[in-house]
Structures are given as structure tokens and as C-alpha cells.
Chains A and B, each alone.
Chain A
Amino acid sequence: MANGISSAGAAARVARAKEIRGERELSFAKKGLFTAALSGALWGLDGVVLGMALAMAPFTGGTSIYAGGLVGGVLHDGFAGLWLLIYNIMTGRSKEVFRSLNTWPGKLVCIAAVFGGPLAMGGYLLGIKFAGAAYAMGISALYPVVGAVLAQIVLKERITPRVWIGILACVIGAFIMGYAPPEGDAMPNFYLGLGCAAVAAFGWGVEGVLSTYGMDMVDPAVAINLREATSSIVSIVFVLPFVAGLPMLIEAFSHFDSLWLLAIAGLVGGASYLCWYRGFSMCGVGRTMALNITYAIWGLVFSYFMTDVELTANLVVGALVITAGAILIVANPKEILNLRSEA
């Protein structure tokens, strides 16, 4: 009898322990979704600050129409990398940076950086040049779809039909927000431009999957630090020389009014990148990328208060569609508890 009572007590204790464990796991899943959404909010703010910096000297000049954006992008990523390095030093992760670089997963994160940095950004800018901003932005906004498909194949990530609809809604919403009637000018390289924009979507999607694979073995805070450093260095060595960007890069260091704005943008961008990579590791590539795209809404909100943006119908409709998509994605955090199907 006494044994019966004690075994019943033990069973109740284990049941209570399982309940607490379930609550903790669910809390972690929700934290992952929040982190992914926060990456979007910070990215929206980053875009507004970066836009203000790029509207100043020396980024408005240059011999190539891309030099300003690319040099600004390199400085932004460079500052973000420095802020992230400070964060890693302060949180006791500084030794992890070189340890990670010495392993294959760390190198994989660097390869991912080339896909998501110079390749995707180059494709995006060339897409705008050849096909116009409306089509290039619309096609490049497909990156969450590319990321989700690749994550299903490579990482065996589970994505339910409801989440798929949410991802597609986020992409369609971003397309609606970015859409503007095509310019009337003839575009002889229109299809080349569409191809370049598709390279951007592919590059960002591949980056998410490769880096997430690497982050199974490398701390996300260290991975994003490696990503920013690689992206900046590769862009300086292999991209800027082709757009006459190096003189502008040097000149930028004598324009403190725009440089400090870029440093602030790099701080906000670094925080956004950190949340983005942590989101990959916590709630998967497909969900994080789609929640990141809410930056379009946040960018609109911050622009409304910080600049003189005009709220048009397609901005409002697009924002509503993205919001509906995001709600579909976060609706059931329990499905993240076992994110990968083969595991």
C-alpha cells in the first residue's frame, strides 16, 4: 500500500516535471518567433537611418550609379561587424571567433556570407538597373520562398501548409508595397534583369540554409560576426574596384556627418542581423525569413515618423497582407518544438 502511494506520488511529480518542461520549450519557441520578428523591426529602422546617410555626401556622387549604395553597404556591414565583435567580446565569446573559423562549419558560414552579401546584393542592384525597381524588388522578395524550399530539402525543416500560406502572403505583401508602375523606357536587358533579381533571391535563400547548417555547431552570435566580416572584405576586394568605389570608400572617412549615421545604422543593423541568425537557429529558416520581411511594415512606420513619406493605397494594402501572413506563421508555436523531420 505504502509503495502504491509513493509510486503514485512519483508519477504525479514526473507529470508535473513534464508539464514544466513543455512550458519551457513552448516559451523558447515563442522567444524564437519574437526574435525573428524583432529582426524585421530593427531592419526597418536600419533602412530608414541608412537611407538618410546615403542621401548625404559622398554617397550621392561617384562615377558609377552603384558606387554610393555599394560603398554605403560595405561601411554599414563593416560597422555592424565591429559592433558585433564588441558584443562578442563583452559576452565572453571573443575566442569563439577564431575557433569557429578553424572548423568546416565556420567556413561554411563564410561561404554563406558570399552568397548573401556580394552575390545577392550585386544581383539585386543589377536587377534594378536592367529590369527596373518594381520587378527587381518583387522578384528578390521571393527569398523566403527559396529559403523555405531549401530548408525543407537540406535541413528537413517541417513547414505546415498554414505556414506556407503565411510565407507566400508575406512575399505578396512585400511585392504590393514595393510595386510601382514600370517605367515606360525600353529595357533591352529586361529578362537579364529578372535573372539578376532571381540571383538575389537565390543568394539570400542559400545564405539562410548554409548558415543555419553551420550554426548547428557554431554560436549564432559568432556566425553573424563572421558573416559581416566576410561580406565586407569580399565586397571591398572583389566588388568595389569594378564600380570605382574604392576612392569613395576612402573619401567617406572624411565625411563625419554621414559616417556617424552609418555607424548608428551599423549598430541597428548588427542587432537586426544578430536576431536574424538567432531566429534561424531558434525557429527555422522559413519562418524567420518570412517574419524578417515585416521590415517593410516597420520601415513604413519609422519613415512615417522620421521622414515625410506619403501613405499610399498599395503601401497600406501590402502592409495588411504581410501582417496577415505573419499571424499565420506565428499562430501555433508548438509546431516548432520538433522543427526538423528526420531528427
Chain B
Amino acid sequence: MVTTLPMRFRIIHFFSTVDEASVEQLMDGLRAEYGQEGQFNRKIFDEHIASMRQGGILHDRDVDLNDKDELVQTFAITDYGRDRLKYLPKSFNG
């Protein structure tokens, strides 16, 4: 049986598979697994990302404004965050 990770853990795993990503790209990447759940919304993702950035799991990468003057930023995983992957369950087929 393939394990579905807690979403926060899956976010860490996602960032370990890409060089950098924005919250939009992250949500696109996880939509197939979690898109049907109530927790899959921008507010909760923003909170996870802010908490992980503050705790040193992720760090800021690029930042800019788009045509609508909205903030566009990307994040990347740190070595400290990558170290958490040692707790991935063996049944997770990432």
C-alpha cells in the first residue's frame, strides 16, 4: 500500500525534488494527492511555508512583483530541511 504523507511532510519532500518553487507551483504539484481535501487552500499553504521558512526548513530564493504588482517568490529546501527526509516512511513511494 502506498502511504500518503501528512501534507506538511509532503511539502518538504516536494521541495527536495525541485531546485526552487513558488507556492502556486507547490500547490500544482500536490493537487492530485490533496486537492480534494478542505485543507488544500492558499491560506493553509502560506502558513506552512511561512512556518517552515522561519524554522529553517526552507529558505527564500527569488522575489519579484508580477504585472499586477503582486508578490511572486520562490523557496528552496535547506540542508537542515533535507535532513528531515530521513523520517520518510519506507512505504512512501515518492
| Contact for B7 among A105, A219, A343, CB less than 8 A | A219
Query: Given the known A-B contacts A13-B65, A92-B40, A217-B87, are A99 and B54 also in contact in the complex, defined by CB atoms under 8 Å?
Result: no
| Contact for A21 among B44, B52, B73, B81, CB less than 8 A | B73
Q: Name the residue of chain B whose CB is nearest to the CB of A93.
A: B39
Q: Which of A1-34 contact B (CB under 8 A)?
A: 13-14, 16-18, 20-21, 24-25, 28-29, 32
Which interface residue of A28, A90, A343 has the most chain B CB atoms within 10 A? Answer: A343
Interface size on B, residues (CB 8 A): 37
Q: Which of B9-66 contact A (CB under 8 A)?
A: 9, 12, 37-41, 44, 48, 50-57, 59-60, 63-65
A93 touches B64 (CB 8 A): no
A282 at the interface (CB under 8 A from B): yes
A343 touches B64 (CB 8 A): no
0 or 1 for each of A72-93: is its CB under 8 Å from B? (1 = yes) = 0000000000000000001111
Complex Cα distance, B81 from A95, in Å, reads 24
Complex Cα distance, B65 from A281, in Å, reads 28
0 or 1 for each of B73-94: is its CB under 8 Å from A? (1 = yes) = 1000010110010010100000
Q: Name the residue of chain A whose CB is nearest to the CB of B92.
A: A103
- Residues in B with CB closer than 8 Å to A21 are 60, 63, 71, 73
Complex Cα distance, B13 from A103, in Å, reads 14
- Residues in A with CB closer than 8 Å to B9 are 103, 105, 217-218
- Residues in B with CB closer than 8 Å to A99 are 3-6
Q: Name the residue of chain A whose CB is nearest to the CB of B50.
A: A28
A231 to chain B, nearest CB (A): 20
B6 touches A100 (CB 8 A): yes
Q: Which of A262-309 contact B (CB under 8 A)?
A: 281-283
B54 touches A103 (CB 8 A): no
B39 touches A96 (CB 8 A): yes
A162 at the interface (CB under 8 A from B): no
A103 touches B6 (CB 8 A): yes
- Residues in A with CB closer than 8 Å to B52 are 216
Complex Cα distance, B87 from A102, in Å, reads 11
Query: Given the known A-B contacts A218-B9, A340-B55, are A25 and B38 also in contact in the complex, defined by CB atoms under 8 Å?
Result: no
- Residues in A with CB closer than 8 Å to B5 are 99, 103
A-to-B contact residues, CB < 8 Å: 13-14, 16-18, 20-21, 24-25, 28-29, 32, 90-93, 95-96, 99-100, 102-106, 215-219, 222, 281-283, 336-340, 342-343
Chosen A-B contacts, 10 in total, with CB atoms closer than 8 Å, are A17-B65, A17-B71, A20-B65, A92-B40, A218-B8, A219-B7, A219-B39, A222-B6, A339-B54, A343-B56
List the 3 closest A-B pairs by CB distance, nearest first: A92-B38, A343-B56, A217-B9
